[in-house]
Structure 1
Amino acid sequence: MTINRRQALAAGLATLGGAATTAHAQTAPAATPAYPTAPIRIVIPTAAGGGHDTMMRLIGQKLTERLGQPCVVESRPGASGAIAAAAVAQAPADGHTLMVGYSAFLSNTVLLDKVPYKVEDFVPVSMLALTPIALGISESLAASTLKHYVAIAKTRPGQLSYASYGPGSGGHFVGELFNMAAGINTVHVPYKGETPALLDVLAGQVQASFTSVGGARRYPGRIRALAVATKERSPSYPDVPTFAELGYPEVDMPGWGALFAPAKTPPAVVQLLTREINRIVLLPEVKAKLSELGFDAVGWDGARTNEFLKEQLASTRKLVASGRIKL
């Protein structure tokens, strides 16, 4: 009898479900049902057409091939990702509804008086990628270096504005970190995703954007990437210097994109998804495509992702306590 890929995955999932090594356990029926038994819905909290949307459509296509069920990417922007998070937190915990989270997933819990979800409502499946956040400026501003940009901002306090992909997002946090470090006053303008933010930079509605380095490099000759907010240069864009190199070591807060499931999702299902998704994001062709989008693929498991999230939450609370981040 020929066993197809989906049957093999289901068999592997049953094994993950906790079969004991005793002879009795080996003959007992599998406790975990076959998975998946329906399409998998992946909710993203940003606008369609942006980096997270493109990333998940790429990963979803590969996951569809592996699991034999369609992976449908659904965009639910708004409220800095809180709308998407609330919807997924309330979804059946069976592995058929997942969510991409980014920095606002944590910062909402610090910034908002009433949050329609808790971090504990979710279990991390995978840290898909880190996203170096860059300062991209409109070429019309005629600032060829970060030093020149700071000089212009100091002569025009409160007149220059920068876009981010949402209030409380990584771009918002890095923007205010840089304002504080450079002693400048530029005005934050939040958008519902990276794409609309960059389009308004192109249109001249805002002069700059704190966005993924891939986004900042997407429009050569129209948007110039001046620096990235990471300790080291992005492997994908080694020609863009770090803020630290240019005199601002405190401007160091990487963006990230992680996949979550509702907290009560069976551990066996989470483990299967972790294994399959991490295998996909580290495929050479997938890594190359993610690199073009400005993502550095990492494929961390749940434990390592949890440790990273704890560190990020501590940094978030420190910046919010400074009073510079408000919604």
Structure 2
Amino acid sequence: MMRFKRLVLAFSALAISNPLWAAWPDDKPVEVVVGFAPGGGTDLMARKLFSFVQKRLGGKAQFVVVNKPGASGELGNAYVAKAQPDGYTLGIVNVPTLLYLPMVRKTQYQVEDFQLVARVVDDPTVLITRSETRIDNLPTVLGIAKQTPGVISVGHNGDGSNGELVLQLLRSTTGVELTGVPYKGTGPQKIDVIGGHLPLGTVSAGEVPELQKGGTGTVKAVVQFTSKRSAALPNVPTAMEAGINVLMSSERGVAAPKGVSSDIVKRLESAIAAVLKDPEFLTAAAADAPVIAFLPGAQWSKSLEQNQKALKQMAANRK
């Protein structure tokens, strides 16, 4: 009996010394912050992923996706970076934007403010346009822009987004200037492309199949900026096939404020890894399934070192 009482006291002491860990995530909803407008690739991925993470963690776990668009995702990133590191505020972060913005301007966050939890996808960047346009490939885009400067406008998600960086790389590689138009997310971009108000948009490969609707949609993909054709878009040519060496993708994953409990990080990481193998999730998130590229947080952080080198060079060459 005495031994049992000691065990009870020991467990009680552990709970008192780690009250947040003991309660998480059952005592209140967890905010999942998306720094872009609803309807884009980041937003859609977050909503699908965390509905399954919630089931995986069980109990009273509840995850609520909150959109905080603006400043190329900086507003959302800053909100997460400044939150209490208690596991109740998470963010969906996008690379290259997360890394690049602090290189070119004073931002409200630094990369070191985050604890990376897991990479979810590595999604190639794609140019899209309305199906009936005469633009069918990247050389046509560049030819029109060269002959009639300013006539080709391309949407992107703001400074440092994968779309904006693609325009930089195309300019430095081909000498052709495309007119960039900043948006608060690919959701609004897609609406304007479909409505005929924007000639070209930059989205991620995982967003395109839904827009094409099996060939019956009003949008078509022009080119994807990857070394080989993505499984998501096997019929869409790459820039490299046209002899233009421009590569760009959007790595999206989950991050928490620096200082969050390692136990919480491990639980989230394990839950995300399990969800990404779940056949039910892969069916529900069919567009994302071909671009899933899970990495644990520590490995993702290590892999970004090479990205930082390339981005620093781009930042140094920025106009």
TM-score (norm. length: structure 1):
0.84
Residue 313 of structure 1, CA deviation: 2.0
Q: Secondary structure at the match of 1:132?
A: strand
2:139 paired residue among 130, 137, 147: 147
1:176 and 1:289 mapped to 2: Cα distance?
Answer: 35
Q: 1:237 maps to which residue?
A: 233
For 2:87, which of 69, 79, 95 is the aligned residue?
Answer: 95
Match of 1:56 in 2: 46
Which residue does 2:55 correspond to in 1?
A: 65
**Does structure 2 retain, via aligned residues, the 8 Å contact 1:165–1:211?**
no
- Aligned mates of 2:126, 2:86 — CA distance in 1: 37
Residue from 79, 97, 106 that aligns with 1:104: 97
Moved more, 166-175 or 277-286: 277-286
Shift of 1:115: 1.0
User: How does 1:233-312 map onto structure 2 within 5 Å?
Assistant: 233-249=229-245, 251-293=246-288, 296-312=291-307
State the match for 1:225 in structure 2.
221
Kept after mapping to 1: 8 A contact 2:204/2:249: no
CA contact (8 A) 1:129 1:297 kept: yes
Aligned to 2:108: 116
1:43-76, Cα deviation, whole Å (9 max, x unpaired): 0101112222121111111122122311100000
C-alpha contact (below 8 Å) 2:121/2:288 kept by paired residues? no
* CA–CA separation in structure 1 for the residues paired with 2:251 and 2:148: 32
2: distance between equivalents of 1:301 and 1:142?
Answer: 43
Q: Secondary structure at the match of 1:245?
A: helix
| CA root-mean-square deviation | 2.2
Pick closer, same or farther for the CA change 1:291–1:310 going to 2, 3 Å. farther
What does residue 3 of structure 2 align with?
none
Displacement of 1:189 after TM fit? 0.4
Q: In structure 2, do the counterparts of structure 1 residues 305 and 51 end up closer, same or farther at CA, with 3 Å as the change threshold?
A: same
**Greater displacement, 305-314 / 253-262:** 305-314
Identity across matched positions, percent: 30
The count of corresponding residues between Structure 1 and Structure 2 is 298
Distance 2:285 2:104 in 1: 30
TM-score by length of 2: 0.86
Contact 1:212–1:294 (CA under 8 A) maintained in structure 2: no
Give structure 2 stretches of 5+ with no counterpart.
1-5
Post-superposition shift, 1:293?
A: 4.9
Partners of 1:194 and 1:215 within 8 A in 2: no
